[in-house]
Amino acid sequence: MPEHAPSLRHHTLDALRGFAVLAMLAVNVQLFAMVWIAADIPGLQTDFSGWGNRAVWLVTQSLISQSGTTLFITLFGAALVLSAQAARQNPVRQWPRLSWLLLLGLLHAYLFWYGDMLVPLALVAMIVVAANGMTLRGLWGLGLGLIGFTGLMLLAGSAIGGLIGSRITAAEAMGFNPDAIAGIEALYRTGFLARLGYNMSIALQSEMMQIVFMSGRIAGCMLLGMAGLRSGFLTGQWPVRHYAWIAAVALALGVLLCLAGAWNALASDFSPAGVLQNRVAQYFGSLILALGYAAAFMLAAKLDIAGAARAALAAVGRMPISNYLFQTLVMTWLFTGFPGLGQFGQIDRLGQALIVLSVWVAQVFGSIFWLQRYRYGPVEWLWRSLAVGRAQAWRLQRP
């Protein structure tokens, strides 16, 4: 398979990126709506006894997991190859562009949402961009090696954590007793400023965890994105039968692994061991799911299937950071108190699913409407302008 690095925007990549942005919200909504540990232990806040709420959690864990984030990071790596500057110039010359992304991520994390992914993405990309000069085999090998090494650390942590036993719950082991949860709820319902200090402290902890423990996975996914683009996998250059086999096997295996982990945690009543084992299953399962979704999108493009749906997702994917930050603004307004609605800890998973569907619809139609008038999303335009030091033309010329 020849190395292939097209200079033009690839619409299937845009569609896949749009899918990734929307999929991330289905998982992240739990972190906006409740204390973060409730994503792993869903009975801590809101009702979880009904079949509907359990079904939403199981479907999210099994069909989406962290595959959206994995795809987003992988496609960011592919974008480093798509950029002619990244491919031909000294990697250090990419740092101003990535530095502005880092600043944007810091503002996002510390002012709005501790779960930001732009900060670790920018920091890791500053190093990974130098890998453009590696061979294709080197990219595959180093990427898989880094992901595997991080997975081994997670497995070791899960084994050690399993020694906690069942004398205390996983929530108690992490400091989330009822009084602590009630205090966090009070902060969020009071207002945006009241919860700012708590958000900043969790953002710092989250960034340190991402950089220290998860940077290997982030770098590995970026490297695989580079390799996937240069090998032709992410540009539809592989045979249809290859995409079909990869999509079928990876999606089936990924769903089974993620579902097994989630079901095991549920059956154990979210014991410390069950929660940690589920995290391991989600770690590996989400990687396999991401591969399956990528192959499925390439297959659909080669067979010209679901063209309208792919075009709609491509609109979302052409302004990914704008849509990602828009999700934060909407979720912050919904779940934080003044000037928001203060619904933190009040909406169950069925309600969260309806919110996610509503935001998806708004983002699809909003992105299509915007791109009929402008070249870039608003945040993408600002980022480009700051990176080159001058305002970019962004209005489309009317005939």
**pLDDT tens for residues 126-168?**
999 888 888 999 999 999 999 999 999 888 877 766 666 566 6
Q: Judge contact between 28 and 43, C-beta under 8 A.
A: no
Instruction: Compute the Cα dihedral for 368, 370, 373, 378 and give only its sign.
Output: negative
The three-state secondary structure class of 44 is: coil
What pLDDT is attached to residue 92? 61
The three-state secondary structure class of 374 is: strand
**Distances from the Cα of 290 to the Cα of 30, 252, 316, angstroms:** 21, 12, 18
| pLDDT beyond 90 at 237 | yes
Instruction: Indicate the burial class of 87 (C-beta count within 10 angstroms; 0-12, 13-18, 19 or more).
Output: middle
Highest-scoring range by mean pLDDT, 101-115, 163-177, 258-272, 384-398: 101-115
Mean pLDDT along residues 116-122: 96
Read off the tokens for 197. Answer: 């200090």
Closest CA to 17 of 68, 84, 62: 68
**pLDDT tens for residues 300-318?**
999 999 999 999 999 999 9
Give the model's confidence band at 88: pLDDT under 50 very low, under 70 low, under 90 confident, else very high.
Answer: low
Q: Judge contact between 318 and 16, C-beta under 8 A.
A: no
Give the model's confidence band at 5: pLDDT under 50 very low, under 70 low, under 90 confident, else very high.
Answer: very low
Give the span between the Cα atoms of 21 and 161, in whole angstroms: 32
Show Cβ contacts of residue 96 under 8 Å, excluding neighbours closer than 6 positions. 387
Give the model's confidence band at 86: pLDDT under 50 very low, under 70 low, under 90 confident, else very high.
Answer: very low
**pLDDT tens for residues 178-235?**
888 899 999 999 999 999 999 999 999 999 999 988 999 999 999 999 999 999 999 9
Q: Judge contact between 243 and 298, C-beta under 8 A.
A: yes
Give the span between the Cα atoms of 303 and 195, in whole angstroms: 50
The β-bridge partners of 395 are 374
Q: Judge contact between 374 and 367, C-beta under 8 A.
A: no
Q: Judge contact between 107 and 328, C-beta under 8 A.
A: no
* Whole-angstrom Cα Rg for the chain: 21
Q: Judge contact between 125 and 80, C-beta under 8 A.
A: yes
Show Cβ contacts of residue 175 under 8 Å, excluding neighbours closer than 6 positions. none
